[in-house]
Chain A
Amino acid sequence: MFLINCPYCGERDQAEFSCGGEAHIARPKNPPDLTDDQWAEYLFIRKNDKGLHYERWNHAFGCRQWFNLARNTATDEILAVYKMGDKPPKLYANVPITPSGEPDIGSGNLSTSKKK
Chain B
Amino acid sequence: MKRLQNNKNIEKNKIINFYFDGKKYQGYKGDTLASALLANKIHLVGRSFKYHRPRGIVSAGSEEPNGIVQLETREYTEPNRRVTEIQIYEGLKAFSQNNWPFLNFDLGAINDLLSPFFPAGFYYKTFMWPPKFWKTYEFFIRHAAGLGKSPKKDDPHKYEHFHYHCDLLVVGSGISGLYTAEIAAKNNLKVLLIEQENEFGGEILSSHGDNPKINNIPINIWKNDIINKLKGYSNVKIISNTTCFAYFHYNLLLAIQDLEPEKGLSKTHEIRQRIWKIRSKKVVLATGAIERPIIFNNNDRPGIMLANSARKYLNKYGVSVGQNLLFFTNNDSAYETAIDFFHKGLNVQAIVDVRNETNGHFTKIAKDLGITILNGYEIVNTIGRLRVQEVKLKKLHTNNIDENKSSITIKCDTICVSGGWTPTVHLFTQSKGKLKYRDLDGSFIPERAFQNTLCVGSCNGDYDLHKILESIPSNLNNFLDLKGSKLSNEENYKTDKVLNDNHKNIWITSKQKISKTKMFVDFQNDVTAKDIKLALKEGFQSIEHVKRYTTTGMATDQGKTSNVNALGIISELTNTDISELGTTTFRLPYTPVTFGALAGRHVKEFFDLERTTPMHDWHVNNNAMFEDVGQWKRAWYYPKKNENFSSALNREVKATRDSLGILDASTLGKIDIQGRDVSEFLNRIYTNAWSKLEIGKCRYGVMLGDDGMVIDDGVTTRLGEYHYLMSTTTGNAASVMSKLEDWLQTEWPELEVYLTSVTEQYGTISLNGPNSRKLIEKINSDFDFSKNNFPHMSYKNINLCGIDCRVMRISFTGELCYEINVPSVYAKYLWDICIDKGQEYNITPYGTEAMHVLRAEKGFIIVGQETDGSVTPVDLDMDWIVSKKKFDFVGKRALNRSDTIKKDRKQLVGLKTKDPKIILEEGAQLVEKITTLPMKMVGHVTSSYYSPNLNSSFALALIKGGLEKKGEKLFAPMQNETIEVEITDPVFIDPQNTRINQ
Contact = CB atoms under 8 A, between A and B. Distances in A.
Q: Do A and B share a direct contact in the complex (Cβ within 8 angstroms)?
A: yes
Interface of A: 1-3, 13, 18, 20, 26-27, 31-32, 34, 36, 39, 42-43, 56, 58, 60, 64-66, 75-76, 84-85, 104-114
Interface string B427-447: 001001111000000000000
Given A31-B888, A32-B888, A105-B448, A56 B741 contact: no
A1 B249 contact: yes
Given A75-B432, A110-B434, A114-B582, 12 more contacts: A31-B892, A32-B887, A36-B897, A66-B745, A66-B746, A76-B249, A105-B434, A106-B450, A110-B432, A111-B429, A111-B585, A113-B582
Interface string B887-917: 1100011100110000000000000000000
Contact of A112 (B582, B742, B893, B894): B582
Contacts of B274: none
A3 B279 contact: yes
Given A58-B742, A65-B745, A3 B252 contact: yes
| For the complex of A and B, 9 pairs with smallest distance between CB atoms | A31-B893, A3-B250, A66-B745, A106-B450, A106-B432, A1-B252, A111-B583, A105-B434, A36-B897
B434 A84 contact: no
B582 A111 contact: yes
B898 A36 contact: yes
Contacts, number: 85
A22 to B, nearest CB: 12
Contacts of A43: 706-707, 894
Contacts of A60: 738
B368 to A, nearest CB: 44
B233 to A, nearest CB: 26
Interface of B: 248-250, 252, 279, 429, 432-435, 448, 450, 542-544, 580-586, 706-707, 738, 741-742, 745-747, 749, 887-888, 892-894, 897-898
Contacts of A113: 582
B741 A64 contact: yes
A76 B464 CA distance: 36
A39 B248 contact: no
B746 A56 contact: yes
A75 B249 CA distance: 9
Contacts of A66: 741-742, 745-746
A62 B122 CA distance: 55
Contacts of B898: 36
A85 B747 CA distance: 9
A111 B893 contact: no
Contacts of A27: 706, 747
Contacts of A42: 706
Nearest to B447: A105
A76 B897 CA distance: 37
A107 B746 contact: no
A106 to B, nearest CB: 5
Contact of A58 (B434, B585, B738): B738
Contacts of B892: 31-32
Interface residues of B, dominant DSSP: mixed
Contacts of A36: 897-898
B585 A112 contact: yes
Contacts of A75: 432, 450
Interface residues of A, dominant DSSP: loop
23 contacts: A2-B250, A20-B746, A26-B747, A31-B892, A32-B887, A39-B893, A39-B894, A39-B897, A43-B706, A60-B738, A64-B741, A66-B745, A75-B450, A85-B749, A105-B432, A105-B433, A105-B434, A105-B448, A107-B432, A108-B432, A110-B429, A112-B582, A112-B584
A84 to B, nearest CB: 5
B134 to A, nearest CB: 32
A102 to B, nearest CB: 11
A23 to B, nearest CB: 8
Contacts of A64: 738, 741
Contacts of B745: 65-66, 84
A99 to B, nearest CB: 20
A105 B434 CA distance: 6
Q: From A85, A108, A111, name the one whose CB has the most chain B CB atoms within 10 angstroms.
A: A111
Contacts of B249: 1-3, 76
Contacts of A1: 248-250, 252
Contacts of B580: 114
A92 B501 CA distance: 46
A30 B250 CA distance: 43
Contacts of B434: 104-105, 110
Contact of A105 (B450, B542, B585, B888): B450
A34 B898 CA distance: 13
A39 B891 CA distance: 11
Contacts of A76: 249
A58 B543 CA distance: 41
A87 to B, nearest CB: 14
A45 to B, nearest CB: 13
A97 B51 CA distance: 47
A101 B897 CA distance: 39
A75 B742 CA distance: 27
A76 to B, nearest CB: 6
Contacts of B586: 111
A32 B252 contact: no
Contacts of A58: 738, 741-742
A65 to B, nearest CB: 7
A64 B742 CA distance: 9
Contacts of B582: 111-114
A31 B706 CA distance: 11
Contacts of A2: 249-250
Contacts of B433: 105
Contacts of A110: 429, 432, 434
A76 B888 CA distance: 38
A67 to B, nearest CB: 8
Q: From B433, B450, B584, B707, name the one whose CB has the most chain A CB atoms within 10 angstroms.
A: B450
Nearest to B892: A31
B185 to A, nearest CB: 25
B15 to A, nearest CB: 46
A111 B746 contact: no
A32 B893 contact: yes
A110 B435 CA distance: 9
A112 B546 CA distance: 13
Q: From B249, B279, B542, name the one whose CB has the most chain A CB atoms within 10 angstroms.
A: B249
Nearest to B757: A64
A115 to B, nearest CB: 8
Contacts of A56: 746
B545 to A, nearest CB: 11
A20 B747 CA distance: 13
Contacts of B542: 112
A110 B432 CA distance: 8
Contacts of B746: 20, 56, 66, 84
A2 B252 CA distance: 8
B786 to A, nearest CB: 42
A79 to B, nearest CB: 13
B953 to A, nearest CB: 40
A18 B749 CA distance: 20
A9 to B, nearest CB: 15
A78 B893 CA distance: 35
Contacts of A114: 580-582
Nearest to A3: B250
A82 B706 CA distance: 26
Nearest to A23: B746
Nearest to A39: B893
Contacts of A65: 745
A74 B747 CA distance: 28
A13 to B, nearest CB: 8
Contacts of A34: 893
Nearest to B448: A105
B858 to A, nearest CB: 34
Contacts of A13: 252, 279
Contacts of B894: 39, 43
Nearest to B744: A66
